[in-house]
Structure 1
Amino acid sequence: MQDETHLRQIAIPDLAEVAGTSAIALDFETANTLPGGICSIGLAWIREGRVSHVAHRLVRPRDMQFNGFHIAIHGIEPRHVEDEPEFPGIWDELLPHLEAAPLLLAHNAGFDIGVLRDSLSAYGIAWPALSYLCTVKIARAAWPELENHKLSTVAAHIGFDLRHHAADSDAAACASIALRAANGEPLVQMLPAWGITAGRLEPGYHESCSASRERRREFRRARLPPWLRG
């Protein structure tokens, strides 16, 4: 990254300020692969059919070990977070928002939900009760013809100006993808058309967001050359 916009912090809004939120998009950047390795959290609130608020917090990883590979991805170094709170300090502020929102969104949700579970467990914090959707699966249902469904690819497809691996921008892109795919309809009402079942996280329980067998078959068929589709 050539600038330091990925280090800009944006406060989490007051809960009353985002009353009526229909979904929150979440993105984590990590310093390493260890539990509690979060170094950045990006959030985007969907309210009244648009992205109404965005937040970004830097986080001090639990062990302050930074992998050079991870630094090369997001540009966050130990010096940027050494005076920041660890995850539990931010979690106390974030949890009421997640409890109030009907849905959590993440692009490649298996990664972000896994990071969330591992970090909570590392600090001895109970998992929250929440439902979530993976916008990779949403994008595959909405635009199966794309070359791939990476965040950068789908963001470009919908005309979103992405600062990739800046967590606030990634979260806003994730929310924008869901909104564009839903085309004005409530997200939960689109799940049957997309062939997607929301994932579920509860204390001691996790069920992944999944696409139906028929939807997976349709996606694979759409990826074939026209002369092989039959």
Structure 2
Amino acid sequence: MPPSSITTTDNPCRALPASLRLAITLAVILLASLIPLEHWPAHGLLLVVVFVGLSFAGVTLGYLIRRLALFLPMLFMFGLTVPLTQWDKAAAWSWMLALWIRCTTSFLAGLWLIHVLPFPELLATLLRWRCPTLLIAMLSFMYRYIFILWDELARLRHARDARDFGHGSLKMKWVGNAQLIGLLLLRAMERAERTHHAMLSRGWDGSIRFLDSDRGTSR
């Protein structure tokens, strides 16, 4: 499901200009990166501000817990690699704690952004900020076709389960998953080539245009 479909229409944060919403998110991430760990009350205050913003954005506690349950274990395992690769253990544990706090704050700020700024508006804002057109085009196509590829992967899984009834050894499952990834890559490349030819036949010149929600014009 696209993040923009989760955002409610009565979200008061969406009354802000798109550029301001993006600037607020970047400012929170920058502050979380620059505040020293010794100033932990400032980190706590920043987290409170982010949580208040999430509540205004209509993010429920259950949704937030589910997202953190996916993010925090990976962050925890990644943070544990810091003390294992440093000689100064005391400083390493401090760096690890700072990494956990900063990454969690940045993740929550990004979660707020996707609930208050739909992805097409984000791309239009980046275009106004003079970001490289190639990068915006790549993000636009990724957002458009990631859901199609996800549906394609679901069909491949159903086809595999229909052949082995979901049974098999662990080795067979690993081999089957590797084959699914390879087949999905081939289908993605074929679809990309067909899409590229179709766009060229319709006169695509490499320019990315969005409806400017702040001005009501096409850019």
Question: What TM-score, normalized by structure 2, do the two folds share?
Answer: 0.27
Structure ID, larger Rg: 2
Question: What TM-score, normalized by structure 1, do the two folds share?
Answer: 0.26
Question: Which structure shows the higher helix fraction?
Answer: 2
Question: Which structure shows the higher strand fraction?
Answer: 1
Higher relative contact order (CA 8 A, sep 6+): 2
